[in-house]
């Protein structure tokens, strides 16, 4: 501890689990928005990743409440958020926004997308598996043209609803922080916007990583125009995200409010590694340079430089660095906001546990769990087929 902090501020209240929650919902929102690029904006090149992005979003969304439940003092009372939500509290919206997004957007979207495959699999299977797939179809086994067109239209409408819903799902998290007037590090109009764009960045990077890695494991060739397009979208999203972060930074420096002293001290001492090194250099500058120099979509004439294999490696490395950088952003916001005292006169420390209910081990487990769920989803709802037929749209 350094300087003066209020006695009650010694312990940090929101730790690794709360860093993890916006990270996960960010991945969900980002992956969904990537999927919507193909469905609503007809970006044909990223079509091979459409189903994978949906399943990724679903897998991570299923895990998203777990860090919150793990952090609550009384998780067994968490249902109260559905019964008596305080309409003035952004956090109370969590239950409803989450339920809306999970059911009306993601589950419905996945169901409409996969209904035909499920019906076909139910018809081809026997015994328990047959009933399993049949139950997933909810008994809607009609595969007539009209039915399939309904699926397609429904999917498109849901995606259109889903885009603002994804903005809401992650934007409200930014608002939870941005609306706390007591905390000058959090209190900012830009907070929901920065959260959202960094979410989009992390979602695109995640789908890129998963597509490359799963293609590697399945020994299938990678669709290079697809990954080139993903890389260029990642680049554009990062440019917007960095611009917003720089805007926030410059704005703070220019206005030079009372908190600028302690915040500068915090950045140069407590947050140097996580903000300057991890978030800015490793998480933003290096990937921007890597993507900017390698992606053919960003070069004149659209020609690729270097072999396909080299580009895949560069994209993978850049995407992994981006994920580290976005995780650092969440860390810097959540933990950074609690490292300085509201008296503006001192700094405290965050002692991260390794084991324990908010430890590093649990964090890794919660990051691995969605991948396990995704593996299960992929088995039941394969996102890839060699010739993926869909009614024209």
| Of 9-17, 40-48, 231-239, 284-292: span binding another protein (CB under 8 A) | 9-17
**Quick one: 243 or 264, whose CB is closer to another protein?**
264
The dihedral built from the CA positions of residue 52, 54, 60 and 62, taken in this order, carries a sign that is negative
Give the integer Cα–Cα distance in Å for 269 and 346: 12
Note whether 181 binds another protein by CB under 8 A: yes
Nearer to another protein, 187 or 215 (CB): 187
Q: How far is the CB of 186 from another protein (least distance, A)?
A: 8
331-to-16, 36, 343 alpha-carbon distances in Å: 8, 28, 22
* Under rule CB under 8 A, residue 78 binds another protein: yes
Query: Rounded to whole angstroms, how far apart are CA atoms 315 and 323?
Result: 12
Check if the beta carbon of residue 297 is closer than 8 Å to that of residue 231. Answer: yes
Which residues in the 109-128 window bind another protein by CB under 8 A? 112, 115
DSSP conformational letter for 346: E
- Judged by CB under 8 A, how many residues of this single chain contact another protein? 64
Task: Write out the binding residues for another protein, residues 228-287 only, by CB under 8 A.
Answer: none
Q: Find tokens 């501020």 and name the residue.
A: 9
Residues in a beta bridge with 347:
2, 340
SS3 state of residue 347:
strand
Of the two residues 86 and 264, which places its CB atom closer to another protein in the complex?
86
Interface with another protein includes 66 (CB under 8 A)? no
187: left (phi over 0), alpha (psi -120 to 50) or beta: beta
Sole residue written with tokens 């020994």? 219
CB contact at 8 A, 262 and 340: yes
Is there binding between residue 301 and another protein (CB under 8 A)? Answer: no
Nearer to another protein, 164 or 306 (CB): 164
Using the rule CB under 8 A, is 348 a contact of another protein?
no
Counting contacts by CB under 8 A, is residue 131 touching another protein?
no
Q: How far is the CB of 80 from another protein (least distance, A)?
A: 4
For the chain, the helix, strand and coil percentages under 3-state DSSP, each to the nearest 5: 75, 0, 25
* CB nearer another protein, residue 76 or residue 386: 76
Which residue shows structure tokens 């993890």?
A: 20
Burial 80-118 (b: 16+ CB within 10 A, else e): ebeeeeeeeebebbbbebbebbbeebbebbbbbbbbbbb
| Shortest distance, position 272 Cβ to another protein, whole Å | 24
Binder among 2, 43, 47, 183 for another protein (CB under 8 A)? 183
Q: Which is nearer to another protein, 24 or 319 (CB)?
A: 24
User: Which of 46/266 has CB closer to another protein?
Assistant: 266
Nearer to another protein, 87 or 300 (CB): 87
Among 345, 369, 380, 382, binds another protein (CB under 8 A): 345
Q: List C-alpha distances in Å: 279 to 94, 230, 347.
A: 27, 21, 21
Least Å from the CB of residue 392 to another protein: 14
What does the alpha-carbon distance between residue 36 and residue 31 come to, in Å, rounded to a whole number?
9
Handedness of CA 226, 152, 31, 381 (dihedral sign): negative
Nearest approach in angstroms of CB 345 to another protein is 6
Candidates 1, 72, 349, 361; binder of another protein (CB under 8 A) is: 72
> Least separation, in Å, of the C-beta of 103 and another protein?
7
Q: Is 42 in the site for another protein (CB under 8 A)?
A: no
**Distance, CA of 248 to CA of 261 (rounded, Å):** 16
**Any contact of residue 351 with another protein (CB under 8 A)?**
no
Please name which of 387, 391, 370, 383 lies closest in space to residue 58, comparing C-alpha atoms. Answer: 370
Question: Does 142 contact another protein by CB under 8 A?
Answer: yes
* Residues at the interface with another protein (CB under 8 A): 3-11, 13-14, 68, 71-75, 77-86, 88-92, 94, 103, 108, 112, 115, 138-142, 144-147, 149-151, 153-154, 157, 176, 180-183, 337-338, 341-345
């Amino acid at each position: 501890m350094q300087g003066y902090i209020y006695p009650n501020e010694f312990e940090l209240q929101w730790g690794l689990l709360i860093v993890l929650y916006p990270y996960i919902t960010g991945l969900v929102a980002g992956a969904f928005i990537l999927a919507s690029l193909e469905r609503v904006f007809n970006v044909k090149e990223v079509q091979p990743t459409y189903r994978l992005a949906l399943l990724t979003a679903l897998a991570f969304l299923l895990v998203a409440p777990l860090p919150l439940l793990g952090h609550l003092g009384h998780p067994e009372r968490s249902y109260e958020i559905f019964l008596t939500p305080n309409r003035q509290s952004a956090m109370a919206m969590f239950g409803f926004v989450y339920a809306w997004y999970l059911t009306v957007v993601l589950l419905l979207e996945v169901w409409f997308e996969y209904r035909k495959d499920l019906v076909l699999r139910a018809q081809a299977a026997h015994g328990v598996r047959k009933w399993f797939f049949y139950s997933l179809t909810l008994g809607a086994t009609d595969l007539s043209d009209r039915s399939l067109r309904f699926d397609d239209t429904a999917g498109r409408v849901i995606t259109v609803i889903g885009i603002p819903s994804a903005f809401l799902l992650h934007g409200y998290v930014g608002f939870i922080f941005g609306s706390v007037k007591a905390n000058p590090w959090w209190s900012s109009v830009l907070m929901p916007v920065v959260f959202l764009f960094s979410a989009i960045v992390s979602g695109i990077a995640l789908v890129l990583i998963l597509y490359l890695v799963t293609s590697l494991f399945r020994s299938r060739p990678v669709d290079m125009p697809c990954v080139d397009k993903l890389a260029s979208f990642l680049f554009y999203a990062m440019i917007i995200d960095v611009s917003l972060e720089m805007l926030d930074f410059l704005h703070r420096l220019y206005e030079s409010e009372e908190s600028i002293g302690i915040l500068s001290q915090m950045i140069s001492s407590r947050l140097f590694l996580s903000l300057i090194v991890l978030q800015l250099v490793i998480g933003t500058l290096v990937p921007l340079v890597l993507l900017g120099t390698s992606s053919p979509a960003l070069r004149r004439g659209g020609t690729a430089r270097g072999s396909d294999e080299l580009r895949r490696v560069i994209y993978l490395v850049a995407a992994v660095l981006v994920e580290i950088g976005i995780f650092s952003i969440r860390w810097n916001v959540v933990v950074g906001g609690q490292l300085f005292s509201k008296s503006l006169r001192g700094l405290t420390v965050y002692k991260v546990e390794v084991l324990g209910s908010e430890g590093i081990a649990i964090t890794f487990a919660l990051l691995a769990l969605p991948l396990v769920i995704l593996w299960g989803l992929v088995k039941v709802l394969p996102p890839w087929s060699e010739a993926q037929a869909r009614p024209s749209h």
